[in-house]
């Protein structure tokens, strides 16, 4: 994963890809953490054949992933603490306090509820 830049535009297209439609169990498990209130978004290169992605961190720490060109909603994931740190570290940005708090909350959720086991 290579973080290219902060993404500060709105995600206009709320269309979903087939990928997210196949993740019903993940959406159910995250149901109490779903929110489109995004704190930070980044343009990311994952060497995917569909091109760059936009990764948005919501107020509960979930990462929403969109295609950069189409703005289609690809998937959602609950991060491990190091995943949240990477976005900022790769751009040489000091970790904001709200992200430090989310890292702790995400770590506790992962430990207590295996949020990444989907």
For 52-67, the pLDDT digits (tens) are 999 999 999 999 999 9
For 56-115, the pLDDT digits (tens) are 999 999 999 999 998 888 888 999 888 999 999 999 999 999 999 999 999 999 888 887
Q: Which residues, other chains included, contact 66 with Cβ-Cβ below 8 Å and sequence gap of 6+?
A: 11, 53, 54, 56, 72, 73, 74
Number of neighbouring beta carbons within 10 Å of residue 77? 17
Q: Which residues, other chains included, contact 90 with Cβ-Cβ below 8 Å and sequence gap of 6+?
A: 2, 3
d(CA 75, CA 18): 9
The tokens describing 71, both together, are: 């703005």
The model carries a pTM of 0.88
């Amino acid at each position: 994963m290579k973080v290219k830049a902060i993404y500060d535009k709105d995600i206009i297209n709320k269309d979903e890809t087939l990928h997210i439609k196949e993740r019903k169990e993940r959406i159910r498990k995250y149901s109490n953490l779903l929110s489109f209130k995004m704190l930070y978004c980044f343009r990311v290169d994952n060497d995917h054949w569909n091109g760059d992605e936009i990764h948005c961190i919501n107020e509960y720490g979930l990462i929403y992933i969109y295609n950069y060109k189409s703005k289609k909603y690809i998937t959602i994931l609950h991060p491990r603490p190091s995943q949240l740190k990477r976005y900022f570290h790769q751009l040489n940005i000091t970790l904001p306090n709200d992200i430090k708090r989310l890292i702790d909350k995400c770590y506790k959720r992962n430990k207590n509820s295996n949020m990444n086991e989907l």
